[in-house]
């Protein structure tokens, strides 16, 4: 049994863990990171990056298919396109593998020692790692738990065979003819829409009365319209109940109880279950250190400290929002705290993007949350139908909405739905972090023609004098 000691041990090399280790290394802290899988975690290997690669391929295919149908308003026509999904997946795997090497390279450059294997706590300062060459014991002054999250499995639809999670959906070699998606959250809709564009007949089954139910109906309307335009059947208020298996792998169906209590069968070659993600809190000896929990998540304070001295936790294992950039920001902060810097979590906005079609972006408070603060608020909304750049991109459906306090015009929240609005997230986040007033946004010169002008116009609208509407 080999033993090493270090100042900082990070468990898990997802976006939270690897960013924490890189920053710690940069600050001269003797750091070890343990990872059971590949560097980059869920985000890089089976989450953010591969899903966006697949979505991009689906968008390109849809564009070409529109041109081939002779219906493109751009006046371009060509022959019918073909999709070789196995090649698309190989292209996606190439991106993932380049980024895996990139993360390993950055860790090495920061002089972080990487240990490959599954880590288990022995006590609050000691971890055992099962490596290929035997058990490695690591003693550390400080430990950061960054073990991430995994897909939630439904007991009546266990993963295997036709029933898949997002991980398997991102590695299919053929487009399913009929795809049933259980769960109308962002992961289900991102993937469902991508497969519909690639030719699958998609049905989404959602137990709540609306898809993307955490967002207000006004914001999700363009996405709902597009789901219908893509021919995706959306069953809301409907519960998945199980599956019935056909003969020789054919004729499988998802069993559904519809909103009016009827039992239905939705034919499906694949059933994609996207009903949420659960923190990875099992199998690594949480019981050995008995940390305080907040429900299923590890409880942390505003410095990501757990209830045990010397142990921090970051990322998905600590709760919502389960987003890569939140994990990274926590990772960076914790490394600086370990180095003795004065840091704490004081974020006004963690932008969130649904890479649906069109994209949906939120930062800060929604109109309802802002109203809940008690004071008067102002809301300004600018539609992309009045934005020249959006028109040139066939992206008129959508808008930017700014929510501010009525008394001093402090911006509280910003939302957008529209083609490519994810790229506005930096501007939205910056405005909120810097405490912008409506006048700051309205008085900033935005390049023309860009969709960013919609942000400026929404602020002007809230002030009562939009120029282009
Ligand atoms: P993870 O990325 O889950 O990494 C944890 C790592 O810890 C894993 O590599 C795991 O192997 C390792 N590990 C766990 N336990 C041990 C152990 N005991 N020993 C050794 N190693 C261990 N977020 C966004 O912000 N934008 C998006 O567009 C987006 N798209 C997504 C799409 C999909 C399909 C999915 C599934 C997720 C998406 N997410 C997105 C969410 C994002 O992937 C997560 O929020 C992010 O990966 C969390 O980072 P993390 O560091 O907390 O954990």
List, for residues 185-227, the tens digit of each pLDDT value.
Answer: 999 999 999 999 999 999 999 999 999 999 999 999 999 999 9
Which protein residue's CA is at the shortest distance from atom 33 of ligand 1? 47
List, for residues 57-84, the tens digit of each pLDDT value.
Answer: 999 999 999 999 999 999 999 999 999 9
Q: How far is the CA of 225 from the centre of ligand 1 (A)?
A: 31
Q: How confident is the model at residue 23, as a pLDDT?
A: 98
* Pocket-forming residues, ligand 1, beta carbon under 6 Å: 11-17, 34-37, 41-43, 47-48, 51, 118-119, 146-149, 166, 187, 280, 284, 315-316, 322-325, 327, 355
Confidence of residue 412 (pLDDT cuts 50, 70, 90): very high
Q: How far is the CA of 318 from the centre of ligand 1 (A)?
A: 12
Q: How far is the CA of 14 from the centre of ligand 1 (A)?
A: 5
Question: Which residues have a catalytic role annotated?
Answer: 448
Q: Can you spell out the DSSP letters for 90-158? A: HHHHHHHHHHHHHHHHHHHHTTPEEEESEEEEEETTEEEEEETTEEEEEEEEEEEE---EEEPPBTTB-
Higher pLDDT pick, 248 / 211: 211
Confidence of residue 50 (pLDDT cuts 50, 70, 90): very high
Q: How confident is the model at residue 348, as a pLDDT?
A: 85
Q: How far is the CA of 392 from the centre of ligand 1 (A)?
A: 36
Q: How confident is the model at residue 250, as a pLDDT?
A: 76
**Residue in 52, 324, 425 to alter for ligand 1 test, most ligand atoms within 8 A of Cβ:** 324
Which ligand 1 atom is nearest residue 52's CA? 28
What is the ipTM for the molecules in this complex?
Answer: 0.99
CA 96 from centroid of its chain's CA atoms: 16
List, for residues 70-127, the tens digit of each pLDDT value.
Answer: 999 999 999 999 999 999 999 999 999 999 999 999 999 999 999 999 999 999 999 9
Q: How far is the CA of 165 from the centre of ligand 1 (A)?
A: 14
Q: Tell me: pLDDT of 330 over 70.
A: yes
List, for residues 292-306, the tens digit of each pLDDT value.
Answer: 999 999 999 999 999
List, for residues 8-25, the tens digit of each pLDDT value.
Answer: 999 999 999 999 999 999
Which ligand 1 atom is nearest residue 17's CA? 51
Confidence of residue 251 (pLDDT cuts 50, 70, 90): confident
Distance CA 398, CA 117 (A): 46
Q: Determine what percent of the chain is predicted with pLDDT higher than 70.
A: 100
* Pairing label, strands 201-206, 178-182: parallel
Cross-strand pairs, 405: 377
Q: Collapsing DSSP states into helix, strand and coil, what is residue 58?
A: helix
Segment 423-439 shows an average pLDDT of 98
Which ligand 1 atom is nearest residue 316's CA? 52
Distance CA 448, CA 459 (A): 16
Q: How confident is the model at residue 53, as a pLDDT?
A: 97
Q: How confident is the model at residue 2, as a pLDDT?
A: 86
Mean pLDDT of the chain: 97
Q: Determine what percent of the chain is predicted with pLDDT higher than 90.
A: 97
Q: Tell me: pLDDT of 249 over 90.
A: no
> Is 313:146 a contact under the CB 8 Å cutoff?
yes
Q: Tell me: pLDDT of 248 over 90.
A: no
Which protein residue's CA is at the shortest distance from atom 26 of ligand 1? 48
Which ligand 1 atom is nearest residue 38's CA? 9
Q: Tell me: pLDDT of 363 over 80.
A: yes
């Amino acid at each position: 049994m080999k033993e090493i000691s270090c100042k900082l041990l990070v468990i898990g090399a997802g976006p939270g863990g690897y960013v924490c280790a890189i920053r710690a290394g940069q600050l001269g802290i003797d750091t070890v990171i343990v990872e059971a899988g590949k560097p980059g975690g869920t985000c890089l290997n089976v989450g953010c990056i591969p899903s966006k690669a697949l979505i991009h391929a689906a968008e390109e295919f849809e564009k070409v298919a529109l041109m081939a149908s002779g219906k493109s308003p751009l006046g371009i026509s060509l022959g019918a396109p073909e999709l070789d999904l196995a090649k698309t997946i190989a292209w996606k795997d190439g991106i993932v593998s380049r980024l895996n090497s990139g993360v390993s390279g950055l860790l090495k450059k920061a002089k972080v020692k990487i240990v490959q294997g599954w880590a288990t706590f022995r006590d609050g300062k000691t971890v055992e790692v099962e490596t290929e060459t035997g058990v490695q014991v690591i003693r550390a002054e400080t430990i950061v738990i960054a073990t991430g999250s995994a897909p939630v499995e439904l007991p009546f639809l266990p993963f295997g065979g036709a029933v898949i999670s997002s991980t398997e959906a991102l590695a299919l070699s053929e487009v399913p003819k009929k795809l049933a998606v259980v769960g109308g959250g962002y992961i289900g809709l991102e993937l469902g829409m991508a497969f519909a564009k690639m030719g699958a007949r998609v049905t989404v089954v959602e137990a709540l009365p609306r898809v993307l139910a955490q967002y207000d109906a006004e914001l999700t309307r363009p996405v709902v319209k597009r789901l219908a335009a893509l021919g995706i059947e959306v069953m809301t208020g409907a519960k998945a109940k199980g599956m019935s298996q056909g003969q020789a792998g054919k004729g499988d169906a998802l069993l559904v109880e519809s909103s009016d209590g009827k039992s239905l069968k939705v034919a499906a070659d694949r059933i994609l279950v996207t009903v949420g993600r659960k923190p990875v809190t099992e199998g690594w000896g949480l019981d050995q250190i008995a940390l305080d929990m907040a429900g299923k998540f590890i409880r942390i304070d505003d410095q990501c400290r757990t209830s045990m001295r010397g142990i921090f936790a970051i990322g998905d294992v600590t709760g919502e929002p389960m987003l890569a950039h939140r994990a990274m920001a926590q990772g960076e902060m914790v490394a600086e705290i370990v180095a003795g810097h004065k840091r704490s979590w004081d974020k006004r906005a963690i932008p969130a993007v649904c890479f649906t079609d069109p994209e949906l972006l939120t930062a800060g408070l929604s109109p309802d949350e802002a109203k809940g603060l008690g004071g008067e608020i102002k809301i300004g909304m600018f539609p992309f139908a009045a934005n020249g750049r959006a028109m040139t991109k066939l992206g008129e459906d959508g808008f930017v909405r700014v929510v501010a306090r009525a008394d001093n015009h402090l911006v509280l929240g910003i939302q957008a739905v529209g083609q490519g609005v994810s790229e506005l997230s930096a501007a939205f986040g910056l405005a909120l972090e810097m405490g912008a007033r409506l006048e700051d946004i309205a008085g900033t010169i935005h390049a023309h023609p860009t969709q960013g002008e919609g942000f400026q116009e929404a602020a002007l609208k809230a002030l009562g004098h939009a120029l282009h509407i």
